[in-house]
Amino acid sequence: MPKPLSAIQSYGLAVLAVSVALAAALLLERYNFRGVEFTVFLLAIVVTVWYGRTQAAVFAVVFAVLIFNYFFTEPLHTLYVTRAEIPYYFIFVFFASLLAWFTAIRRRVERELVQSRNELEWEVAERTQQASLLDLTHDSICVRDMDDVITFWNRGAEELYGHRAGELVGKVTTHRLLQTVFPAPLEDINAELLSTGRWDGVLEHTKADGSGVVVSSRWSLRRDEYGNAVAILETNNDITERNRREHEIRTLNEELGKRAAELEAINKELEAFAYSVSHDLRAPLRHMVGFTELLKKNAASLLDDKSQRYVTIILDSAKRMGNLIDDLLAFSRIGRAETHMATLSLQHLVQEAVTEVRQDAGGRNVVWRVGKFPDWCGDRSMLRLALVNLVSNAVKFTRTRPQAEIEIACVDQRQDQVVLFIRDNGVGFDMKYVDKLFGVFQRLHPREAFEGTGIGLATVQRIVHRHGGTVWAEGEVDNGATFYFSLSKPQEPDL
Amino acid sequence: MSTLGRILIVEDDPNDVELTLTALEEYNLANEVVVTRDGEEALDYLHCRGNFKARSNENPAVLLLDLKLPKRDGLEVLRQIKSDEKLKLIPVVVLTSSHEEKDVVASYKLGVNAYVVKPVDFHEFVNAVKELGIFWAVINESPPGSMKKN
């Protein structure tokens, strides 16, 4: 529909239409067509009414009357109106007004028609778009009447169930088609739907290909203007996969729980075992040592040198076994004990370890180089034990050096990790055997040269692992060794 | 030595009994020693019942208690003693092979007077027993009602 003209444009149109009518009338007059001027001017008025505004139409009527009077009534070329002409003009104005009125009405009717047509078109477009939007969604949507007959079936439903809308709408009942399995009696579900207007729950359906599908279903009740229930909108989401995963997770969790319980049982057994070892293994050892000592004392005069040596060997071996048992128990305790994480000063801890080992080192000539360390989070007694083990190792394996040099420092300090090292100029080790260093009872040196049970580094490794870190070593035979260990920062230290 | 308190040893292992007695003998502390072989017998002794019906009704000056015992274990004996009005004053020393933390904690919670781990080394063992004997049977002033020998 064309845009209505503005006021100026309307007046312009009136002038133009009347001028064109004048030109046409003059032309007709020239060719001796008389008596049609009147009609030509009426046409100009109709055009003005049709396209212009009402005021412009009134103007056109007045203007046309003046022009007509000037050019076509006697005396010509004056605006003089004779008495006899007055009714004539009245008829003209009346006729023009009537025409303008009818035209205006027609125009209005036409406009309204166009408008309602447009509205209708818009609504159709909107509806079509909405319907296609319902097809766009991944949800399966169906509408059924109160007799369960399907009245709408979107593309999502087609895709989910494999039934085409064309085959179903108006012909098939939902529950029979999908062989719905309800979580509750259908009467109860319908009762809830009727009372609250909605229902949701989990349904099992059967697809066109016979396979099952689990859906999360939401029903909404539609009522007409009198409040009568007329339709049910059902939206179904396929949750088969989700259900399967949930089931899987549940199974895994149960499995995990079982494993945890098993592990706890094993741990308990281990604890009982360690407890028993600590009691029962030491007693016979004590008796061996005790009675051998008594034998040595009471029978000293009867034993020759060789026998005396045997007695000494028995005693030494028994003592070594005692140490082994103690170390093993300590080692197993580290695996079993709970860690008590707290913020601590590594600086103090290193200093403590050095002081402790130094006392045992006696009058040895050792040059200590101790660096700077940050505060960190860890189990104090465990870390202390690890440091003491490493430092005393350094002292032990530098024993053959006229001047021992031991350096303890921190190399890599990041937000979440710190790396400490202990370097000595001792006897070192062959990198070939680096993998054996941290094993239980693994020794790289003859017992006669360096005492020890071979559990110290295994203990260090276990402690470091319990702090989420790693431990490694570098060394060269006769050229010192460096032991590194990292500690990661726990996310939430239980202070 | 003015007085010598009676020492009650509760120990099931004959070897340990012998070693302990040897150590005590070495320092002339063995005259007033009574050995019971399990928790039941120890409680019988303390309550003067069963085999000990005839004994004079006095408490020992100290009780050396092993933890791993047949029938009633050491912690059970300790609990009984410390919850009995007549016996709770008897000093009890746990003398055991283990230094498992939970045993130490449990013993102190029950009110033990001392906790000693038997050293594997014989000399240390003898020394420990001697010190215990001298301290509890001689130096320590026993609670009233204890058996003392002049």
Give B129-145 pLDDT, tens digit per residue: 888 888 888 888 878 76
Q: Is A472 helix (H, G, I), strand (E, B) or coil?
A: strand
Q: Which of B98, B99, B121 sits opposite A289 (nearest CB)?
A: B121
Q: Do domains A249-333 and A339-488 have the same CATH topology?
A: no
What is d(CA B60, CA B89) in angstroms, rounded to the nearest whole number? Answer: 10
Rounded to whole angstroms, the Cα distance separating B107 from B74 reads 9
> Which pLDDT value is given to residue B1?
43
Give me the helices (H) in A374-425, please: 380-396
Q: Is B148 helix (H, G, I), strand (E, B) or coil?
A: strand
Q: Which residues of B touch A330 (CB under 8 A)?
A: none
DSSP letters for A267-304? HHHHHHHHHHIIIIIHHHHHHHHHHHHHHHHHSTTT--
Question: Measured between CB atoms, does A302 come within 8 Å of chain B?
Answer: no
pLDDT of residue B31: 76
Give me B121's structure tokens.
Answer: 């080394």
The pTM of the full predicted model, rounded to 2 decimals, is 0.52
Look up residue A85 and give its DSSP letter.
Answer: G
Beta-carbon separation of A290 and B97 below 8 A: no
Q: For residues B117 and B122, what is the distance between their CA atoms, to the nearest angstrom?
A: 13
Among B22, B97, B121, select the one facing A279 at the smallest CB separation: B97
Looking at per-residue pLDDT, the higher value among A68 and A223 belongs to: A223
Residue A204: burial class (beta carbons within 10 Å; 0-12, 13-18, 19+):
middle
The mean pLDDT of A4-14, rounded to a whole number, is 84
Euclidean distance between the first and the last CA atom of chain A, given in angstroms as a whole number = 79
Q: How far is CA A152 from CA A125, A234, B99, in A?
A: 19, 10, 80
Confirm or reject contact between A101 and chain B (CB < 8 A).
Answer: no
B52 or A279: whose pLDDT is higher? B52
Cβ distance B128 to B116 under 8 Å?
A: yes
Task: Report pLDDT digits (tens) over A65-111.
Answer: 888 888 887 777 887 777 877 887 788 788 878 887 888 888 889 88
Domain ranges of chain A: 7-126, 134-238, 249-333, 339-488
Subunit contact B19:A287, Cβ cutoff 8 A: yes
A50 C-beta neighbours (distance < 10 Å), count: 16
Q: Is A127 on the interface with B (CB under 8 A)?
A: no
CATH code, residues A134-238: 3.30.450.20
Cβ-Cβ contacts under 8 Å, B22 against chain A: 290, 294
Task: With a cut of 60, say whether residue B150 has pLDDT above it.
Answer: no
**B107 CB within 8 Å of a chain A CB:** no
CA-based nearest residue to B86, from B58, B62, B64, B116:
B58
Q: Between the CA atoms of A54, A59, A62 and A64, what dihedral angle is there, to the nearest 10 degrees? A: -100
Residue B122 has pLDDT above 50, yes or no: yes
Q: Which is it for the CA torsion A317, A321, A324, A326, positive or negative?
A: negative
| Sequence letter at residue A353 | A
Q: In this predicted structure, what is the pLDDT of residue B115?
A: 93
- What stretch of H or E contains B42? helix B39-46
Is A222 within 8 Å of A229 (Cβ atoms)?
yes
Cβ contact, residue pair B125, A290, below 8 Å: yes
**How many C-beta atoms lie closer than 10 Å to residue A291's C-beta?**
17
**pLDDT, average across residues A245-274:** 89
| Cβ neighbours for A423, distance < 8 A, ≥ 6 positions apart | A394, A406, A407, A408, A409, A480, A481, A482, A483
Residues 6+ apart with CB under 8 A from A146: A229, A230, A231, A232
Most A-contacting residue of B98, B101, B107 (CB-CB within 10 A), to test interface: B98
User: A415: distance to nearest CA of chain B, Å?
Assistant: 36
Judge contact between A217 and A204, C-beta under 8 A: no
Asked whether the beta carbons of A202 and A239 are under 8 A apart, the reply is yes
> Do A286 and B100 lie within an 8 Å CB cutoff?
no
Residue A292 to residue A305: CA distance in whole angstroms: 15
How far, rounded to the nearest angstrom, does the alpha carbon of residue A17 sit from its chain's CA centroid? 71
Mean pLDDT over each residue of chain A, to the nearest integer: 86
CB contact under 8 A, B119 and A294: no
In the numeric block, which tokens belong to residue A71?
Answer: 């050019």
In one letter, which amino acid is A156? Answer: G
Tell me the pLDDT tens digit for each residue of A320-337. 888 888 888 888 878 777
Per-residue pLDDT band for A206 (boundaries 50, 70, 90) equals very high
Confidence at residue B109, expressed as pLDDT on a 0 to 100 scale: 94
Token pair listed for A488? 């990661």
Q: Using the beta-carbon criterion (under 8 Å), do A279 and B96 form an inter-chain contact?
A: yes
Give chain B's end-to-end CA distance (angstroms, integer).
Answer: 8
Look up residue A397 and give its two tokens. Answer: 């394996």
Looking at 1.10.287, 3.30.300, 1.10.1200, 1.20.120, the CATH number of the domain A249-333 comes to 1.10.287
Chain B residues touching residue A291 (CB < 8 angstroms): 15, 19
Q: Which chain A residues are within 8 Å of B13, Cβ to Cβ?
A: 283, 287
Calculate mean pLDDT across residues B79-87. 90
Alpha-carbon span A417 to B18, nearest angstrom: 56
Nearest to B100 among A275, A289, A293 (CB): A275
What pLDDT is stored for residue B140 in this prediction?
Answer: 83
Query: A293 to chain B nearest CA, in Å?
Result: 7
Task: List Cβ neighbours of A192 (8 Å cut-off, separation of 6 or more).
Answer: A199
Evaluate whether B146 touches B9 at the Cβ level (below 8 Å). Answer: no
Place of tokens 């028995």: A314
Q: How confident is the model at residue A494 (pLDDT cuts 50, 70, 90)?
A: very low
Q: What is the pLDDT of residues A359-416, one digit of tens each?
A: 877 778 888 899 988 888 888 888 999 999 999 989 988 888 888 899 999 886 677 8
What's the CA gap between B65 and B116, in Å, rounded? 10
pLDDT score recorded for residue A257: 93
Strands A481-488, A198-206: parallel, antiparallel or unpaired by DSSP? unpaired
Bridge partners of residue B8, in order along the sequence: B34, B63
Whether residues A279 and B16 touch (CB distance < 8 A) is answered with no
Mean pLDDT of A229-246: 91
Burial A414-442 (b: 16+ CB within 10 A, else e): eeeebbbbbbbbbbbbeeeeeeebbebee
The residues facing B149 across adjacent strands are B4
Q: Answer whether B67 sits within 8 Å of A285, measured CB to CB.
A: no
Q: What is the Cα–Cα distance from A302 to A296, expressed in whole angstroms? A: 9
CA-CA distance, B11 to B144, in Å (whole number)?
Answer: 25
Q: Quick: pLDDT tens for B47-68.
A: 888 888 877 778 888 899 998 8
Q: What is the pLDDT of residues A439-487, one digit of tens each?
A: 877 777 777 777 777 888 888 998 999 888 999 999 988 889 999 999 8
Given this model, what pLDDT does residue A167 score? 85
Cβ within 8 Å, pair A322-B96? no
B/e letters for B58-78, b = 16+ CB within 10 Å, e = fewer, are: ebbbbbbbbbbbeebbbbbbb
pLDDT tens readout for residues A155-194: 889 989 999 888 888 888 888 888 999 999 989 999 999 9
Find the mean pLDDT for residues B27-41.
Answer: 85
Residue A142, both tokens: 């169906």
Which pLDDT value is given to residue A118? 92
Of B18, B67, B16, B60, residue with least CA distance to B38:
B67
pLDDT at residue A495, as a whole number = 43
Name the class of domain A339-488.
Answer: alpha beta
CB-based contact (8 Å) between B104 and chain A?
A: no
